[in-house]
Each structure stands twice: as C-alpha cells, then as structure tokens.
Structure 1
Amino acid sequence: MKRLGLVVLGLVVLGAILLTLRGLNAPAGDESADGKSASPERKTRVTVRSQNVASRGLGLAEANTLSIVLDEDPEGSLRLQGLVLDPQELPVADATVLLDSNPVRSARTEKDGTFTFTGLPPRSYQLEARHGSLQAGPLSLWLSERSEPLVLHLRPAASLEVEVVEASSRRAVPGAVVELRTQQPRSATTDGSGRALLQALPTGRLVLKVSARGFSPVWQSISVGQASSVPQRVTVAVRSGAAVSGTVVDARGAPVSGVTVTPAPSTQSLQTLTDARWDGAVTDASGRWRFEQLEAGSYRFEASGPQRATGSSAPVTLEEVRETSGVTITLPESTRLMGQVLDDRGEPVPHALVRVAIDEGMSRTLARQVTCDQRGEFVMEGLPQRRLALLAQHEQASSIIRYVDLSQEPVRQEKVLLVLNATEVLRGRVEFSNGQPAGEAVVQAELSSARAHGRVEQTLRGQLVAQADPAGRFELRGLQPGTYLLRAAPPGTPPQRRLAWLVPPVQAETGGREAVLRINLGGTIQGQVRRDDNSVPESFSVVLRGSGSIPYGGGDGRFLLQGVPEGSHTLYITGPGVITKAVPDVQVQEGKETDLGVVVLQAGRRLQGQVLRANGTPVADATVSISQALKGSGVVVGTAAELDYGLQQARTGADGRFTFAGLPITPLQLMGEHSQEGRSEFVQIPAGVAALEMNLRLAATGQLEGTVLSGGQPVSGALVMVTNPGAPAGGTTGTTGTDGRFRFDNLAPGTYMVLAVADSTGSQQVQRTTTTIQAQQVARVELEFPQGDVTVFVRAQPAEGALATSARVILMAKAQPGTTAPPAQVQVLTPVEPARFTAVIPGDYNLCVSPMTEAPPTDGGTTAPRSKCNPFTVSQQPSLQEVMVAMPQL
C-alpha cells in the first residue's frame, strides 16, 4: 500500500522542495493531538473460531516509522491458541510459530497443526509462522480473555541466497554467519563456496548482517520480494577492520556498568541497521566496552539500558589497521515517568498499553512500550529529559497523543493521566467480486487525515489491521472519529506485501453505515527478461509503480506478478549492467494473464577506469558513484536516487579498476572516494553512446562539523544531508546524536548545501545552509529550526472535478536580505483534513501545493514538481491562523 509517511516527505521530496525554491528564485505546540477462524467445510475436521480482531501492528517494517522497543513482559495468565494451514488448507505439523513477546517466544505445531502459547499478559501481539519454504504473517491481534484461536495461512515465500566474498581478492568466505533480521533473526552458515540459503522470508525491507572470523561485520538493507522458483541473490564483500574501545560514564563522569553499546555508522544510512539486542557489547564493572573488528569509516557509538537514557559518543573516524581507543559515551540525566490509564468514565483500565516517543528528529529516536498493571498504572524508567509524546491503547479504545516536556519538568511528581476517549467503531464486510463472503480476509484501515501521516503519530498508533470472520465481517474499535480509507486483501496477506494494497480504497465514516469491501483477486503479469545480446541478467528487479521493487534471482529471466489489480499499470525493469526499461500501459483484467513476452534490456554504454592516488598508484576498495545529472539544486537520496537518477556504485579491485555497464546516453556525474585516501573531483561526463575510459585521482579532503538545534536545544536523530550540485545523486547523509551533533569526514573541496530535516508535532521542518569545504580543514555550521508561537491551518477549498486525494503543502519563508537559507515546513493536506504547521514565526512566506499522487520523473529527474505557489503572510496575532487553498487537479 502506498504510504504517505515521513520518508516520502523527508527523503524523496526534498528535491521537490528545493526545486520549488529555485522556481521561486529564492536563495539557496500545544498539548493536543488533534478478530479469526477457519472457513467451514474445510478438507479437515478441524474447526477453529475466533473473534474479530481490531489491532495495531508494532512496527510493520515500514521505513517511515520507528520500531517500538518493548519493556520486558510481565508474567500473565492468558493462553493464545491457533492453527497453521498450508496452501491447500490442510493442517501443518512441526511448523515454527514466532510471537513478538519480550523476549520473543516460539512454538512448534502439533500433528493437527495447532499451537499454544501460555502465560501471556493481555496486549497487542504479532505472530509469524514458517515451514520449509512457506511463510505466514505477520498477523496482528489483541489478546484478551475473550480471544479465540486464530488461523495462520502458509504461502510460498521468498528465499535469499547470500554469497560472501573477501573484498580485495573476491575469494569465497566459508563459515560466515548470515543473519536476516525478522522477529527472531534467521541465520545460516556459508558453505565451501561461500554461499548460504535463507528460506521462508517475509516480504519487506529487512536488515542483513554478515559476520566472519577475521573480518568486520557488515550490515545492509535488503528488499525481500515475493516467492520465486529462483532465490534472490546478493553478494556481500567483507573486509578486515580494526578494534575500537571506550568507556561509558554518567553525567558526573562515573563509569556505568551493564549498559549496551551499539555501533551506528554515522553516514550513508537512512535506516537504522544495527540493533542493540544482537550487535551490542555490554560494559564491564569499569564501564569499559570493546569491539574487535569494525570496518573503517565514521561511526557514532550509542549506549542504552532499561534504567538509563540513551547517550551517544561524538562522531568517531575508524582507520583500517589502527585501533581506536578512548571513545567516551556520556549518558544524560534520565528520569522516570509515572502515570495511569483511565476509561472515558474515569475508571482504571487494567493492562492497557502505553507508548512513548521523543517528539523530534527522524531516526534512531526513542520509541518504547510498557504494559499497565491491574490498576492501569505504569512506570517508565530511563527516559530522557526531553519533550515526549505519549499514547495509550486498549482493545476497545485509545487515547489522543499527549505531550509531556520533561526538559522543563525533569522530576515529575504527579502521575500523567491518559484517557481512552477514542472509542469510535468501523464495521463492515468483505466480499469477493462474485458476491461470496471473503472469510478471514485481511483489512487495512488508514485515517484520511493529515495528522495521521506524522512520524510520531504513525510510530505510536501503528497500522490498523483486522481479519474478517468466516462470514467476511470485520470490526475496528478504538478509533479516532473521522473518515477512514479501507482496503481488503485475500486471507493470509501480510501488510508488507504492497502489491496487494494497490486497490482503490473505500471511504467510511466512523459510526456510519456498514462498509462493503470487494476483493478483486486481480490478474497476472508475466514476461521474460533478456539483454540485447540475448543473455539473461544475473539478477533484475521488477517495479510496479506504487508497489515497490520485486527482486528476481535471474534464472531463465522469467518473472511473474500475481494479484495485480485491474487497470492500466506502468512497469519498470532494472538491474545491474542494463538501462532501466519502462513498460507503460500494461492492461490487467481480473482472472486473466497479461503476457509481456520478451522484454529486451539495453546494455547502454560502458565506463571503466582506475582510481589513483595523487602519486599515480592504484587505490583498492575505493567506492565509485555515477548517476544522471541532477536538476537544479535538488537533493535526492534513497531509492529515488537509484530508480529516477540511475545511481550506480562500484568498488575498485586490487588494481584500482572499476567498470560500469548499462549507463544511459544522457550526461552523467562521476566521483570516486576512499575513507582513508580521500575523494576525487566531481567529473561531468557528456552525453553520448561511446564507451569511455576515465581515471579518477583522489585528493585531500575536508571535514564538516555541525549542530542541529530547536529552540536552543539539541535535536537528536535529525536527518542531515550534504550535497554538491556537481556530485552524483544520493549525496552524503547522516543523523545527529543525542547531543545534536553531526560530522562528515571525507568531503572533496567545494561548495555544499547542508540540509537538516526533523519532525515535531506531526510537522516536518527543513532547514538548510551552504558552506565551503577546503582541503585538510574543518568547516562548521549550525542549523536551528525556528520556534514561533503561531499555528497555521491550511484547508482545502470545496471544488468540483477530479482532485488529488492528498497534497503536499510546503510553507517556505521568504529569504531576508543578507540570508540565503529560508526555513521550510512540509505537511499533508486532504480534502477533509487541514495541513497543520506549528511553531511558525510571523513573516512573509510562499505556500506551495502539489499532488502527492504525482508520478516520479522518468527523464532522469528533469521533471520539476507541479507546485502552485502563492505568497502568504503570517501576522503576529492571532495565535491560530487559517488559509484556504485549492486541491491540485489529477
């Protein structure tokens, strides 16, 4: 399902923000928030009945929300039972079922396919099952005394073949441990050929870790697609590293024992890859910690514990062969928060869930969950003295988000009261297109509201997922009043399988009439991929617009997309060494197969060369990046850099040589870098078809240090991007630590744009500046998000015609004389819910609106966003101001 989350706003859209600024000729809050069964007549005699489940997932692998860290579960008295069925609806014995309790628990199914977990406290859970190459879930439910058994439907799932090689020699590395991070890490060991196979994998973006004796561990993000007869393949190169050690101290300088230290690469990662549960080192009695092998580069080390607020070190640069010692992590003063959850009559709610998140930043930011006791009371230890957002949930109700500023009240004496006053209900039924009930169908609901797309809101509330009963009826409880977008998918469809959620939503009002959802089983798209020399790519990916990438392992080049909704679609096929191929206007009908035949991918032009030091000697293991030229001053990172701008990267061999294939004939931008040896100049490659030979010489680089502030206080987890207009797409990215600081070590001399993004009270703030980097010098910048007293509501004017269902609204301050970096905020607008901008400083602004449904550019990023901008003045008074705008036309 296409999500309108902060990653969409904060990463891909930044280019749109800056292009909008360029088009304008601009130089470079209050305390508010605003059920399962087996179908009858099965092939077995097993009959299982269950409630309608109204539940919220606990971080469903969505990149735009933070994963919830659960406090350890108390001992409970509830029992969770269920049944695992295969694709033929037969019970499966000896399947593994995983439950996301804390700690994670697993069970094996009996001969009749049933499983049982006991001693559980009442709360929301997720379950996942696997057996051989089959996988089911994750499936969400709220466990209570009334819960009945549930059904997990096994389906064919993806597999991943991981090849581990030594970076310089490309020799196979046997005995390496390969882990894929799910509820419980899946692991395998490479054989003599350096290969390991992981099976029955859930769909979505997951973290892959490779560990081998004598080498540094490697973490990388992997997009796992749908089932295929050929495993997805990925090659991971491991390198030697050096040791790093240090000490954790408290705010008074005393050593802290028993906390976990985790390495966090401070640049080039938009997703938190390391995890304290599996990658951390625990401090000894003297507060000391040590990692024997980490790859060279820039890191921040974070210390955390159940009774301590998280602290981070200053950015640290690790060298290839020399040990780094003396790294100090200072834990800030922490505090505890006590509270109670009440219902709308003022009565305590036993076993309610309370979630808390820091209301700042965008990455690696606190997100915790605790379960209340019998009196609805809770205590959270080790919280930072910052502004926190809190939410309470129960099976039948939820609270609004409440904000508590512990920076102003570090020792809170009175309890925080959270009232479960969101009690609205949505009811409906799900049918197949022939009118028959769709028993056990999976239903997703999304609030059609701008406030639903904020990072904090999505983190604390999670996704709304329900399973219909055998008659196809479903019920969602504990909702905020408003309009919801409902979608349904066949039984067993996990929320991460985005292809299944491309169907148009049904709008439903809480408290209104029963909603009727119809499942269109869709059609099939198949084809076969060939290069223009009739060979088959070793790997390729198929991208159905709006559904994300589906990787394939090559094989005979065949691909199959099932369950594609009716209608016209655009397909992209991409892979290493070929030019991305767009296949427009692919017509799909329900129950029918669309055969694209053989899709020929052009090899494009080749570029090869060598990375050299200033003295002409080759540089091994350097990274070379190439992409199409950026438009204007756009900043494009993440998957947009790869798909829309053709970003490719290669590592040099022992002779310093690199090769690119499948390059377009458009102008290109090229750069080489090495963490120790420096960076090359940004090389502009003209348009053409001829193969090229291009050598890159590395030169001395400079550093950039800085701080991100808001209201004079450091912002943790702020996303920072540094880019030069002549550099390849992708830029250099990092995040701030708990002290608000960031550092980039290896920047080629030149002028850069520095851009910081954070989220607070559901509004995304963007601040930028420019700086000049000189060789062997350190440049310093400070970015501060302005803090005003005005809140601006932007509402959609009533209009006729085909309007976008949602729009992106950018509030950009006009540049003042002598300044070059006006701040901006970004929000989402729908026809029924306003965009809400907080902490706005009075002054002159441009208000720009563009459709969120706008397709990504396919011409190398040269298509500017269709933004309509108008001047807007924010006055000193009143504190709440409003403006009407037109929703964009489709």
Structure 2
Amino acid sequence: MTARHRYIGGASTILAMSVLGLIAWDAYSTTGAVERGVEFAASSHATNRLQGAVSPGTVALHPVARPDRRRRIRGTVVDTRGAPLAGVHVSAMSRADESLAELPCPDWAPGAWEALLEEKPRRLLQDCQWAGRDALTEWLSSRRGEAIPQAETVTDGDGAYLLDGLDDGALSIWALNEEGAAAQQDILGIHDDLRLVLTPGLRVEGIVSGGGAPLPGTHLTLVSVTTGRYFDGIAGPDGRFRMGPLPLGRYVLLAEQGGWRPALLHLDEATSLPEDGVRLTRPLNHAGRVLSRGNPISGARVELFVDFSSEEGSLQVATSDAKGQFHFSGLREGHRVTLSAFHEGMIASAQVTLDERDGAETELELRPAPFLEGVVRDEARQSISGANISWVPQRLGGIYPATTTTLDGRFRLGPLGPDKNQITVSAPGYLDAHFYLDSLELQSPFDITLFRAELITGVAVDEHGAPAPNVTLKLNRACKHPASFGERPQTTTDTAGRFELKACSPGPWEMEAVDERFLPDAIPVHAPSGGLRIALKQGPTVTGILLDEHGVPVVGADVFLAKREERGSPSRYISSDAQGHFRLGAVPPGHYIVWAQKHVQGVTRLTAAQDLELRDGMATQVELRFPVGLTVSGIVVTASGTPLEGVAIQTSRFPQADSTEPPHIGFGCGGPPIGVRTDASGRFVLRGLSSAPHAVWATKDGHAFKPARSMGGTHHDNDWIFMKPGASENDLRLVLQRISFVRGRLLGPDGRPFPDYVINREIGVFSLEGTFLFPTTNHGQMALIFDAPGVASRTVTVDVPLEEDVDLGDIHMPTVLHP
C-alpha cells in the first residue's frame, strides 16, 4: 500500500481525518478559507499547520518510519454488506497521559462534599458538566489530553490495511471516508485480521450564530471523550458547518470566535445539536472595588460565583489592586452571581444580576468575618473534650476551618464565609450532629448537645474471607432519636474492611451493604456489639460482551438484568465498556432475563432477551447482539409543502411486539433524547429499526405536528403516526404546520391599555402595555372574544391565513358596564 493524495471534499466539506498530526491545507488566510466554505478538517496531535499551495480538501499523508518498533495491526475495512472498501483512511491513536474522561470536577462543584464522604472521585463529564464548564473550555482550547497519532495508511483495492511500528499499550483504530466511519477502542497486542465495518456514523452539522446573525469563521473543535481525538473546523460564510461522518460515541463540541463567549455542547449518538444550532453570546465584564470603612483594600481575594439555577455554574477568582479594584470578564448577561471578598479575617458579599449597563460596579465593604463559638456537652450536661467541629460551605473550594473542643468542651471555629454552612460535630462514642447556619445570621455562643451512640464495630469480608474495603453499610431503619431523626445510620469500611456504626438506640438491628459488588441481604446485628465479622455474599454474576449486527463491540449501551417476573424493574444495570464488555452481579439466585438497550439517532435499539438461571457460586457468560435493523427514510414539510430543516424526529417501539420482547426502559421525566434532525432539504433517515410497530413524531419550535396530514403510516390522535418498518409505506412524509400568531393591543374606552384580561374565556393575558400574542393552528375565519374587568365583552372576527401571522393593531373595548 502506498500513501496517496485524494480530493475528498467539495467547496463546502472536508472529510475528517488524521494525518499524524499534520493537515496540509492551502496556504491562504483563514478569511480565504471561510470564503471558500472550508468547513471541516481534523488534527490528531499538533495544531493544524498551513503548508504549501494545495487544493482545498487535499490531504498529504506522511508515513513515519519506526524501525525500532515491531508491533503491527493488520486487517480489512468493509461496508455494512461485507464488501471491501478501497481508499479508506485508517489510523492508530494512543491516549495521552491526561485523559478527558478522567478530568475531575472542580472542588467547589455541588455534591463534592458528599463525594469526599463516599471516597468516590467525581468526574467532570459524568457528575458536573455545567459546574465544570470553564475548566472544560480551557482544557479543550489548550488541546490537553489530545490523542497521539501512531500510524496512518489507506486501504488497498481489497480493503486491506497495515499499521506498523506501533507503540505498546491500548490503541484506538479509526477508519474514515466520505461515506462512513468506524472505530475500535482499547486494542491491545498484535492483530492480523482486525475487521472495521464502516457505517454511516455520526454527522454534526448546523449553523453558528450570535446576536441573531451567522458567525462565519468560528473555530470549532470536536473531541472524542473516550479516545481524546481532536477534530477541527471553521464555519463557512453563512455560519454553517458539517463534521463527519465520525464513529458513534460521545463528543464535546467547542465553538470559539474572537469577541464572543465560547460555546460548549455535549453530543452523542442519542443527542444532536440544539434546533437553533450553536449560539454564541457577547461576553460581559464586571468590575468593582473592595473597601474597608470607605478606604480601598489591596490584595483582597474576590470570588465571583455563578448561581447554579442558571445551569452554568462557575467560579472565578481575582485579587484587588492598589485602588481596591477588581475585574471579571467573559460573563453572560442575565446570570445571577454572588461576589465575595476576603481579606485578613474580613469578608464582604453581594448578589448581582449581570446586564449590559455601562459603568456598573459593585462595592464590597469589608466587615469582620463571623466565628462560630460555643460548647459541646453530652445529654448529662457534661463537657465533651476532643470533639471535632468542621465547616463546609454550600459552595466548596479552598481549605475550610476545623477545630476540636478544649478540656472544658469549648470551641471557636472560623473565620466563616458568607455562604450557608454545614456544620458537623462528632466525637467518639456519640451520634454525629449536623446542622446548617447562615454565617450572616450567626449568634454565638452555641450550646451543642451530643447523644450517646450504641456502637456496632467489626470487619466486613467477602465470601473468601478477604477484607471488603469501601463498602457502604447501613442500618435498616431510620432513627427516631431527636439528634438524628429520620436518618439511617451508615458508614464506609476502611481499606482493611473495618467499620464502626453508630446506632441511635440499643437492641436488635439489621445491617445491609449498599454496594453493587454484594447482595443487599439483611444481616441481623445487636447494638451495642463489637468484634463482629460480617461475611458479605456476592451472589451469582453475569459477564458478557455486547456486539452490533456486524459483530463489532458496542460501547456505552445499557445492559439490564431483571427477574423474569419483574421485567419492567431491572435488578441491576450497567454500561458496556470500550470493548463491549459488561459485568452484572450481586443478585439473589433465581430466574432472570438479560438484555441491552441503546438510543441511536432517534431509534431505541434492543437486543433479544436471554433467559438465565443464576445459582450461587456460578458465573454465567452471555453474548448479546443487536439484530440487523431496518431503515426508514422520510421528509418533513410544512403545511404548504416547503421542506423543514432542524426538525427533531423521534420513535418509540409501541407496543411490544410480543411477550418475549424485552421491555423498553423509559427515559424518566426528561423525555427521550432527540437523536436525529432533518437536513437542509428536510430529509432524515432512521436506521436500526426492528420490525415491531413504531410510533413516530416530529417536533420543532413554533410548529405543530399534523399526523392526519402525514403519510407513511396511520395517524393516532394528534400526537404521532403509527408505522411498521419493512412495510410498503417505508418512505415517510411528515407534516408540521407553522403556528400562526394573532397579535394586537387591548385598550379601554378611555384609550388606556388593559393590563389583565381573558381571550376566549380561557387564556389569561397579563401585560402592562395591553399587548397579546394568540397562537393558533386554525386558518380561515375565527372569533376572538375579549373579556376585561368593568367593560362589556367584545368579539372580533379575524381571517387567519395558513401559516401566517395577523396584526390586529389596537382593539378598543366598549363602554363601561353599569350595575
């Protein structure tokens, strides 16, 4: 096989591919690239470099000889029918030392304290996406954790490829061309027949806009979460971009443009871009001064914390200068933020809603920081020495004070911050006390009473007698003691399996392990007791691999294990790993079913359910496979027949085809993910459908789905159409009608607007200007009835054109009613 140049784009799209960290673009300016509509390119390690004058879309492959390395991976690339594919770019990538998937949450993120108690690391992409937005933006912008290219080649006429001179360790192997993509992760060792099946993959396309207008030249970075591979692109002159095809999986998209706040979006095979694409906003600045008795304070620490109700929590820190001034940038209009200043035992705090007011500043006047003072006693009013008092604010970050009581039980804790604070008081042999205090309302001294605990101590071991570390143990009922009312006493075993549980009353209790490694069996214990040896049962286990219809491992699918008679309530579930493997356990012996489910571009794919009989001490291995699916295509048009772009298409298997089909586990209160949208021509494709009947529906802001006017299935009510994949009516034509709006202003006999009135006896309007906006999907003549206090009703007849708006202007109500 020889490296070769190949023109793969048009004027609008460049195929995503990696060339050992070197992309050869034409040597023109970025502006020129934008004008030509260059929308996508890729990088694997270094930033893109402009080299020479070459045609747009031309990629130069530069193999690197590594004679000292002998590892190789050989295989073929085929299409979904098994036919070999020539000219496909195949590359091997290794992970960097830093991993995007392992990026931790910021210390101050909500829930971090609970994670510390559970000794469980919190990952940004799993546990705090919004809280870690700024950290993730900085990470991606600086290209941290970028995958390292090992080798790249092009398949020959038989679809064969050879990647040679590879490093040891886990690799991801990618295959890309203009028609499809494939990737396999965590490939170890030498392979002589690694088969890569190209599928249509994932295409990320949309428009970048800001201030209501397209933003050409916006730089886009798309990063694979699991492999760390970076892809780069530039929005075209109309703000549009197209990325892909890429292998299905989890990605993060970063959009950057000078003078605008970066946008960060999380995408995968189940979640597409928002309907309005990628929207950037202008960054706001906020400044202020730190004062003490009116004098400027230099060197004060100033924190700006974005309220999490805005769903973009973040923390910024600045230091006041010689004039006491501080400055924050890159903020977003409408966010409510808390500003806090700290300096030599003094604090100040203020809340501000950001807007575009010029010259708006916040003055932070320092005052002495509060301290929590008091005494800790037992229920006999005897002082407790050596009790621990700790403080954790609602927002975490930094080092927080902790102290212990003196011989006479007294303590002084602080300085405290401006937040609401969680105070924990604990002492050996006593029940812990937890309470919340607002530091702005502290009134010391506090008299804290701890109550004697009935201790249950011992060691937890597994079935083989080995210590069971990091296991959460809980007592089976809540305490009725006033010190811990409603709490279930719990603890976590240490590295040697040792534990100490504090029961709130003597007598019999039941303990259970809350851990996926062990059965939640009720273990009888007595309080107080010591030296216990608790044997935790692991029960039967199920291990296996999940494959797609081509025999390729499936990453990130949900695998469920449920009792046969409780199919809709899984006992355990887990996600398949990078190689499609899964392990389910800690269930009692019995009859079960196991199956997998994955949401892929608007379709919920299900494997067949396998019946299992699980017995103690038995490990069961299974192979789950998604069946060959059916494909249905279609178009979405308006009521007047115009194709609609950006419409979300969703499907649901409804009802189950038969009693042997596994249940579809629902999406909870958030609704199903929106996995596929129509393109610029209104077209869409649904792949991997089963032959079971499906409900199909379409959504777009400002539009109403019209099943009765749609074709390709039978309509049901006004919500969806019913279709059976594989039937003759496979080509769907879905109709969305644009909602018409009737607008106007309601005035009284004296010409003043009504701020409060009702339309058609059911729709209340509240507007100081008297304006209304009445939505309707009806067209033709319709009546609007206006009722306002103190005047007679008025009916206005209006002729509403199909999918058009009507402006009624000012509507004057008749004279005042007389009693």
Work out which of the two has the higher radius of gyration on C-alpha atoms and give 1 or 2: 2
* Same fold flag (TM > 0.5): no
- TM-score of the two chains, using structure 1 as the length reference: 0.41
Task: Specify which structure has the bigger relative contact order, considering alpha-carbon pairs within 8 angstroms and separated by 6 or more residues.
Answer: 1
- TM-score of the two chains, using structure 2 as the length reference: 0.44
